[in-house]
């Protein structure tokens, strides 16, 4: 998603907790970048830590307004039935910084294209820290603004990092694999996409954007990361984007 500008991420945070009941601000844990020869594991039941987004009546109203503008003019609520999982990276090095950014009710004015498309702030359903800790930010069946054209059917998974300064880690590969398996077991998911692949998906019936000119080009999480995750999930037969 490139959720927050790099400069917005704080330098440090409180220690992360592995206890499912703890909703604490995680630490910025230095982690080993992806090693080309390493193989990601495939844990069956990931530990998911609840770390809820700040949610207010104003935010709910703005999000519904956004949904009506971009998905369905007659929408009455924020309920979705997930069919797609979209993986992202934050373009920052801090889970705490990303969470603080997502907690804002409205989109920052400096992101002109996004701000012109609606006041509701961006967010995701999950945030995966650099040590592989998985945080659940909001219900998987709530409409969240994270992916143009697919928010009404997509679960968003943000990974702390990028492809240069904070390369995504082995622990994140492993966590994403486990999380995707967990979600596919719970919801009728048919597709797994990287954010950078979504514009190739516009011809699919899942893709709905009521303002045809509203689109963007993304780089996250990158072909290498998607290749690693997909390589361990072949048995699920999840579709991806059309070939270029």
**Domain positions in the chain:** 43-236
Q: Is the pLDDT of residue 18 over 60?
A: no
Q: Is the pLDDT of residue 182 over 80?
A: yes
Q: What's the fold here for domain 43-236? A: Lysozyme-like (3.40.80)
Mean pLDDT on 14-41: 38
Q: Is the pLDDT of residue 172 over 60?
A: yes
What pLDDT is recorded for position 46? Answer: 96
Count Cβ atoms below 10 Å from residue 236 Cβ, excluding itself: 14
- pLDDT single digits (tens) 136-168: 999 999 999 999 999 999 999 999 999 999 999
How far apart are the two ends of the chain, measured CA to CA in Å?
Answer: 21
Whole-number average pLDDT of the chain: 87
Mean pLDDT on 23-41: 42
- pLDDT single digits (tens) 99-116: 999 999 999 988 888 899
* Tokens at 9, concatenated: 């991420």
């Amino acid at each position: 998603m490139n959720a927050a500008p790099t400069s917005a991420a704080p330098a440090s945070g409180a220690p992360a907790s592995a206890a499912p009941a703890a909703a604490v601000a995680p630490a910025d844990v230095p982690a080993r970048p992806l090693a080309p020869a390493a193989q990601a594991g495939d844990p069956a039941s990931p530990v998911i830590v609840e770390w809820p987004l700040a949610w207010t009546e104003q935010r709910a109203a703005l999000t519904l307004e956004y949904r009506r503008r971009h998905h369905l003019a007659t929408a009455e609520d924020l309920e979705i039935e997930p069919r797609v999982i979209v993986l992202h990276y934050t373009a920052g090095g801090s889970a705490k910084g990303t969470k603080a950014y997502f907690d804002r009710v409205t989109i920052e004015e400096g992101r002109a294209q996004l701000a012109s498309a609606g006041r509701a702030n961006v967010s995701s359903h999950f945030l995966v820290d650099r040590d592989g800790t998985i945080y659940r930010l909001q219900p998987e069946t709530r409409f969240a603004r994270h992916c143009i054209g697919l928010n009404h059917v997509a679960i968003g998974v943000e990974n702390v990092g990028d492809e240069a300064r904070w390369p995504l880690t082995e622990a994140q590969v492993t966590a994403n694999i486990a999380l995707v398996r967990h979600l596919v077991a719970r919801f009728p998911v048919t597709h797994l996409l990287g954010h950078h692949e979504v514009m190739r998906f516009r011809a699919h019936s899942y893709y709905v954007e009521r303002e045809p000119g509203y689109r963007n080009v993304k780089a996250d999480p990158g072909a290498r990361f998607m290749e690693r995750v997909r390589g361990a999930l072949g048995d699920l037969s999840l579709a991806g984007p059309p070939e270029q």
